[in-house]
Amino acid sequence: MIAEIGHFTLILALAVAIAQMAVPMWGAHVRDARLMAFGDSAAVTQFGLLIVSFLALTHAFVTSDFSVLNVVDNSHSEKPLIYRISGVWGNHEGSMLLWVLILGLFGSAVAVFGRNLPATLRANVLGVQASIAVAFLLFMLFTSNPFERVDPAPFDGRGLNPILQDPALAFHPPFLYAGYVGFSMAFSFAVAALIEGRIDAAWARWVRPWTLAAWMCLTLGIAMGSWWAYYELGWGGWWFWDPVENASFMPWLAGTALLHSALVMEKREALKVWTILLAILTFSLSLMGAFLVRSGVLTSVHAFAVDPDRGIVILSIMMFFTGGALALFAWRAGALRQGGLFAPISREGGLVLNNVLLSVSCATVLVGTLYPLALEGITGEKISVGPPFFNMTFIPLMLPLLFAMPFGPLLAWKRGDVRGVAQRLAFAAGFAVLFTIIVAAMTGPGPWLAPICAALGLFVLFGAVTDLLSRARFGDVSQAEFLRRVVSLPRSAYGTALAHAGIGIMVLGIVGTSAYQTEKIVALKPGERAEVAGYELLFQGIQPTKGPNYSEQIATFEVTRNGAPVTTLLPSKRLYNAPPQPTTEAGIYASWTGDLYVALGDEQPSGGVALRLYFHPLVRLIWIGAVIMFIGGAVSLSDRRLRVGAPQRARSRPSAVPAE
Partner 1 sequence: MLLWVVLSVLTAGVVGLLLRGYRRGEADVAGAAKADVAVYADQLQQIDLDQSRGLISAAEAESARAEVGRRLLSRAAVVDGPVSAGGQGSSSERILGAAAIAIPMLALALYVSLGSPGLPNLPHEGRTREDAARNQVDAMVARVEERLRAAPEDGNGWDVIAPIYLRMERYGQAAEAFANANRLLGETPKRLAGFAQAEILANNGIVNANAKVAAERLLSAEPGRVDARMWLALANEQDGQFDKALSDYRGLLAAPQMSPAMKEAIEVRISAVEKLARGEAVPPPGPRLAPGTAPEGSVEIPSSPADQQAMIEGMVARLAARLQTDGKDPAGWVQLMRSYSVLGRKDDAAKALTDARRALGADAAALEQVNKAAAEMGIEGAAKGEDKK
- As to burial, measured by CB atoms within 10 angstroms (0-12 exposed, 13-18 middle, 19+ buried), residue 34 is exposed
SS3 sequence of 590-634: ECCCEEEEEEEEEECCCCCEEEEEEEEECCHHHHHHHHHHHHHHH
Sequence-separated (6 or more) residues with CB below 8 Å from residue 23: 35, 38, 39, 42
Strands (E), 440-591: 518-524, 529-532, 535-546, 550-561, 564-569, 572-576, 582-585, 587-590
CB 565 to partner 1: min, Å: 40
- Cα 343 from chain centroid (whole Å): 33
- The residue range among 201-209, 402-410, 423-431, 562-570 that interacts with partner 1, by the rule CB under 8 A, is 201-209
Which residues 449-478 are close enough to bind partner 1 by CB under 8 A? 471, 473
Question: Angle at CA 381, nearest 5°, toward 379 and 382?
Answer: 140
Nearer to partner 1, 144 or 248 (CB): 144
CB 309 to partner 1: min, Å: 18
Fill in the per-residue mask, 230 to 269: x = in contact with partner 1 (CB under 8 A), - = not in contact: --------------------------------------xx
| 602 binds partner 1, rule: CB under 8 A | no
Q: Which of 89, 106, 147, 459 binds partner 1 (CB under 8 A)?
A: 147
| 440 binds partner 1, rule: CB under 8 A | no
SS3 sequence of 428-447: HHHHHHHHHHHHHHHHCCCC
Which residues 1-30 are close enough to bind partner 1 by CB under 8 A? 1-5, 7-9, 11-12, 14-16, 18-19, 23, 26-27, 30
Sequence-separated (6 or more) residues with CB below 8 Å from residue 122: 36, 39, 40, 110, 111, 114
| 482 binds partner 1, rule: CB under 8 A | no
CB 44 to partner 1: min, Å: 7
CB 125 to partner 1: min, Å: 13
Identify the H or E element spanning 286. helix 272-294
CB 222 to partner 1: min, Å: 32
Asked if 269 and 367 touch (Cβ cutoff 8 Å), the reply is: no
Residue type for 72, please? V
Q: Which of 181, 202, 418, 460 binds partner 1 (CB under 8 A)?
A: 202
- The residue range among 93-101, 112-120, 318-326, 598-606 that interacts with partner 1, by the rule CB under 8 A, is 112-120
Q: Which of 518, 581, 593, 655 binds partner 1 (CB under 8 A)?
A: 655
- Cα-Cα-Cα-Cα dihedral sign, residues 34, 36, 42, 43: negative
CB 316 to partner 1: min, Å: 20
CB 34 to partner 1: min, Å: 4
| 158 binds partner 1, rule: CB under 8 A | no
Nearer to partner 1, 188 or 364 (CB): 188
Q: Which of 51, 55, 118, 536 binds partner 1 (CB under 8 A)?
A: 118
Which residues 328-347 are close enough to bind partner 1 by CB under 8 A? 340
Nearer to partner 1, 349 or 625 (CB): 349
CB 499 to partner 1: min, Å: 20
Asked if 185 and 110 touch (Cβ cutoff 8 Å), the reply is: yes
CA distance 633 to 627: 10
Nearer to partner 1, 377 or 645 (CB): 645
Identify the H or E element spanning 493. helix 491-516
| 117 binds partner 1, rule: CB under 8 A | yes
- The residue range among 193-201, 403-411, 439-447, 566-574 that interacts with partner 1, by the rule CB under 8 A, is 193-201
Interaxial angle between packed helices 243-268 and 201-232, expressed in degrees from 0 to 180 and rounded to the nearest 10: 160
CB 577 to partner 1: min, Å: 15
**Closest of 517, 545, 511 to residue 532, by C-alpha:** 517
> Within 13 Å of residue 229, how many CA atoms lie on the same side as its CB?
18
Q: Which of 55, 105, 141, 345 binds partner 1 (CB under 8 A)?
A: 141
Nearer to partner 1, 226 or 275 (CB): 275
**φ and ψ at 149, to 5 degrees?**
-105, 160
CB 131 to partner 1: min, Å: 16
Output Rg (C-alpha) for the chain, integer angstroms.
26
Q: Which of 363, 366, 538, 656 binds partner 1 (CB under 8 A)?
A: 656
- The residue range among 109-117, 287-295, 382-390, 591-599 that interacts with partner 1, by the rule CB under 8 A, is 109-117
Nearer to partner 1, 36 or 456 (CB): 36
CB 18 to partner 1: min, Å: 7
| 270 binds partner 1, rule: CB under 8 A | no
- The residue range among 90-98, 534-542, 627-635, 646-654 that interacts with partner 1, by the rule CB under 8 A, is 646-654
CA distance 372 to 374: 5
- The residue range among 128-136, 143-151, 507-515, 616-624 that interacts with partner 1, by the rule CB under 8 A, is 143-151
- Cα-Cα-Cα-Cα dihedral sign, residues 225, 511, 354, 428: positive
Per rule CB under 8 A, count of chain residues that contact partner 1? 82
| 149 binds partner 1, rule: CB under 8 A | yes
Q: How many CB atoms lie within 10 A of CB 602?
A: 9
Asked if 205 and 118 touch (Cβ cutoff 8 Å), the reply is: no
- As to burial, measured by CB atoms within 10 angstroms (0-12 exposed, 13-18 middle, 19+ buried), residue 200 is middle
Max alpha carbon distance in the chain (Å)?
82
Identify the H or E element spanning 178. helix 167-196
Which residues 389-418 are close enough to bind partner 1 by CB under 8 A? 412-414
- The residue range among 199-207, 252-260, 396-404, 573-581 that interacts with partner 1, by the rule CB under 8 A, is 199-207
Interaxial angle between packed helices 308-333 and 119-143, expressed in degrees from 0 to 180 and rounded to the nearest 10: 160
**Closest of 507, 405, 423 to residue 464, by C-alpha:** 405
Which residues 29-88 are close enough to bind partner 1 by CB under 8 A? 30-38, 40-42, 44-45, 48-49, 52, 60, 63-67, 77
Q: Which of 53, 145, 261, 583 binds partner 1 (CB under 8 A)?
A: 145
